Amino acid sequence: MSVSETARVYFEVGTRIGFDWLRARIEKLAVDGPWQAIARTGLRDAALRVQRRLSERVLARSERGSAEARVSAWAESAGKDLALWQRTLADMRAAGAGDFATLTVGVESVRRLAG
């Protein structure tokens, strides 16, 4: 598998699952001092690790097809776990999630998809 194919799947997972929004909200977290900055960095890194693991799962399922098709096939198999994450994400978006606690819960919720 080529690097470009892997990258396309990674970025498709980011868009379809909501990692782009989640990471953007994490990056916007206000920090007051070095400890909060370290915590924000840790949360962002955790989100990136989950995106990487999900991408690996998508890639392991099939060796052919576009990134969109591969992510769609994985999404169908994720069933209720994906639906639960999508509801959590919708709730976070509706609430304007901008605090550390809410975003931490979001990262933990999406981590369940990665197994």
Q: How far apart are CA 101 and CA 15, in angstroms?
A: 23
Burial environment of residue 73 by CB neighbours within 10 A (0 to 12, 13 to 18, 19 or more) = middle
Chunked in runs of 10, what are the mean pLDDT values of the chain (115 residues)?
90 94 95 96 97 95 87 92 94 89 94 86
Of the CA atoms within 13 Å of residue 60, those in its CB half-sphere come to: 8
Q: Which amino acid, residue 91? A: D
Q: Shortest CA distance to 93 belongs to which of 20, 38, 33?
A: 20
Total of domains in the chain: 1
- Say whether 64 sits in a helix, a strand or coil: coil
Residue 47: per-residue pLDDT: 97
At 42, the amino acid letter reads G
Identify the pLDDT of residue 73.
92
pLDDT at site 2: 85
Please give the pLDDT value at position 46.
97
Range of the domain at 81: 3-114
Question: Residue 61: its pLDDT value, please?
Answer: 87
pLDDT the model gives residue 22 = 95
Q: What is the reported pLDDT for 97?
A: 76
d(CA 19, CA 73) in angstroms, rounded, equals 18
Number of H-type helices and E-type strands within the chain? 5, 0
Q: How many CA atoms does the CB half-sphere of 30 hold within 13 Å?
A: 4
